[in-house]
Structure 1
């Protein structure tokens, strides 16, 4: 069994993990886009702190989405993604209080954002459960770097194609 499968987690590119990363990243991107669409025209127009917070939160959410697609499978990254999207959800409920249902019904952008956030939280939490502990990921990186330093080409006899 290869090193990426030796721990039973299937490696970074297992089909389930690949699909989960795509779903999580897309949900995060949709949430970020909706927040930026809502915030940009209102930025700097009054005492409401939400536009500035949404621009910063949207940029951060995009960074998490990109890292989810490009970085190794770090549980901390997935927890950060789930926490960021959950913060948007909880913040919406906190801002609107008891009128959250009517506020949500009156705003189609909010419906899209909250739907994407729920999907994203579920996807990030699934990725968290599927990912190996951070120590395993770091050990894999170290092992791969050691093999690269020694110039191992996968030749079992240790002989390369050098003259």
Structure 2
């Protein structure tokens, strides 16, 4: 008979309580913060880019459209998908790229650019918060192979229609 512990002393796959899984309170909070930060960053970049489309010498509006679409897709996937470190890394990387691109574009004048543009302040705050939240989710999530194994173990229960419960 198993005591619910795996070979490393942690919970066996598929045996841990909900407090250890995707719906742990800390993970739910971090997921909500990360999703909101990604959505705000995407919206701010769209607001900035939309009126500037068609400006031939400036490629930023088009890059912002693509980055905003990616940030929105990551936000949706973070809400709907399981715990995937790669997804959280993509979220942190997307928001970090926005932030790093701003700093690279403005260089030493980044603080003056922040002072002159309120949308840039909102975007920078959302990006920093989002990167921190996505990195925290990354650290708390199991390796992708473990997440895939959990998903594989849960699939037969869902397919049988009994919701994973035992006999009545």
Scaled by the length of structure 1, what TM-score is found? 0.89
Return the alpha-carbon distance in structure 2 between the equivalents of residues 51 and 134 of structure 1.
Answer: 34
Superposition pairs for residues 121-160 of structure 1, below 5 Å? 121-149=131-159, 153-155=164-166, 159=167
Shift of the 146–5 alpha-carbon distance from structure 1 to 2, 3 Å rule, reads: closer
1:82 aligned to 2:92? Answer: yes
Shift of the 145–96 alpha-carbon distance from structure 1 to 2, 3 Å rule, reads: same
Structure 1 residue 46: Cα displacement: 2.1
| 2:18 and 2:24 in contact (8 A); partners too | no
- Does 34-43 or 143-152 show the bigger shift? 143-152
1:32 aligned to 2:42? Answer: yes
Q: 2:115 aligns with which of 105, 109, 114?
A: 105
Q: 2:101 aligns with which of 52, 71, 91?
A: 91
- Does 40-49 or 17-26 show the bigger shift? 40-49
| 2:19 and 2:25 in contact (8 A); partners too | no
| 1:74 and 1:134 in contact (8 A); partners too | yes
Runs of 5+ consecutive residues of structure 1 not aligned to the other structure: none
Return the alpha-carbon distance in structure 1 between the equivalents of residues 113 and 97 of structure 2.
Answer: 18
Deviations 1:3-35 (A, max 9, x none): 556399810001110010000000000000000
C-alpha RMSD over aligned residues: 2.1
User: What SS does structure 2 have at the residue aligned with 1:47?
Assistant: coil
Scaled by the length of structure 2, what TM-score is found? 0.86
Q: 2:79 aligns with which of 69, 75, 90?
A: 69
Runs of 5+ consecutive residues of structure 2 not aligned to the other structure: 5-10
Return the alpha-carbon distance in structure 1 between the equivalents of residues 92 and 19 of structure 2.
Answer: 20
User: What SS does structure 1 have at the residue aligned with 2:57?
Assistant: coil
| 1:9 and 1:130 in contact (8 A); partners too | no
Return the alpha-carbon distance in structure 2 between the equivalents of residues 9 and 79 of structure 1.
Answer: 23
Structure 1 residue 145: Cα displacement: 1.6
